[in-house]
Amino acid sequence: MEMPVNAHPLGISRIRVVYAKRDGLRFTGHLDLQRLWERLLRRSKLPLRYTQGYHPRPRLNLASALPLGFISDEELLDFWMDESLPLPEIQQRLTAVAPPGLEIYSVQQVDMGEDALQVQMKASEFEVSFYDPQNILELNHQVEQLLNQTSIPITRRKKTYNLRPLILALETATDPDGAVILRMRLKAEPGATGRPDDLLETLGYPNTAYLVRRTRLLLN
């Protein structure tokens, strides 16, 4: 019998999950989210592939850390199984044990030889909504001034980096209700990742003034 495309000779499969992180998980940090996924996968009773060693854990790989307080429309996670199952069954099992705030959109099987998701990351897109109404002309002026700078030094954890080359796109817009929002695309490569909160701080906004939602992850 001919094996399906990308099938592993031992039946091992690599599954990619596209999911959203909603308000219910807004203040769940990256490490806690990873632990949440480990518990979720165990509860799903899927034939998981585990790491080696004294404390085996489900083998999984999250694409990109999302800063605390952010929400997201699109997050990616890969996990491995020791045998193949129909994709609808995998999604149904994951959805059945997912906690409030975690919405699973789709699952797909991907090539075993792909690089880790973190290595494939190129950029992230974000949308910022403000708690207080904003003047779009004033915000446009701030954005223009920021983009005209050649260097935007940011100090984080006693290390300074230049934010400017990490800003791939930045623009104002309005949401369906007419409120002014800010959209941005920031580089998210290993060792070169821009943070929306750093950009917003440069514009003069404290982290209590806005809500950031990641809308898209861009891979190689």
* Cβ atoms within 10 Å of 181's Cβ, excluding its own: 20
Do 67 and 124 have their domain in common?
Answer: no
Per the structure, the complete domain to which residue 141 belongs is given by 119-219
Quick one: which of 26, 120, 40, 117 has its CA closest to 77? 117
Do 96 and 69 have their domain in common?
Answer: yes
Do 110 and 123 have their domain in common?
Answer: no
Q: What's the pLDDT score for residue 8?
A: 55
Are the C-beta atoms of residues 207 and 69 closer than 8 Å to each other? yes
Are the C-beta atoms of residues 214 and 125 closer than 8 Å to each other? yes
Query: Which residue stretches of the chain have pLDDT < 50?
Result: 1-5, 9
Do 64 and 126 have their domain in common?
Answer: no
* Cβ atoms within 10 Å of 37's Cβ, excluding its own: 20
CATH of the domain at 192: 3.30.70
Do 133 and 108 have their domain in common?
Answer: no
Determine, yes or no, domain membership for 4: no
Determine, yes or no, domain membership for 5: no
Chain mean position to CA 97 = 21
Do 99 and 144 have their domain in common?
Answer: no
Q: What's the pLDDT score for residue 1?
A: 33
Q: Which of 114, 139, 155 is the last residue of a domain?
A: 114
Q: Which of 94, 114, 134 is the last residue of a domain?
A: 114
Determine, yes or no, domain membership for 150: yes
Q: What's the pLDDT score for residue 96?
A: 98
Do 88 and 124 have their domain in common?
Answer: no
Quick one: which of 76, 176, 171, 64 has its CA closest to 118? 64
Determine, yes or no, domain membership for 2: no
Determine, yes or no, domain membership for 156: yes
Determine, yes or no, domain membership for 81: yes
Do 137 and 62 have their domain in common?
Answer: no
Give, to the nearest 10 degrees, the angle between helix 87-97 and helix 30-44.
Answer: 120
Cα torsion 52, 54, 59, 63 to 10°: value is: -110
CATH of the domain at 88: 3.30.70.580
Do 104 and 155 have their domain in common?
Answer: no
Do 93 and 177 have their domain in common?
Answer: no
Determine, yes or no, domain membership for 154: yes
Do 33 and 94 have their domain in common?
Answer: yes
Q: Which of 82, 114, 146 is the last residue of a domain?
A: 114
| Contacts (Cβ under 8 Å, ≥6 apart) of 86 | none
Q: How many domains does the chain have?
A: 2
Do 146 and 102 have their domain in common?
Answer: no
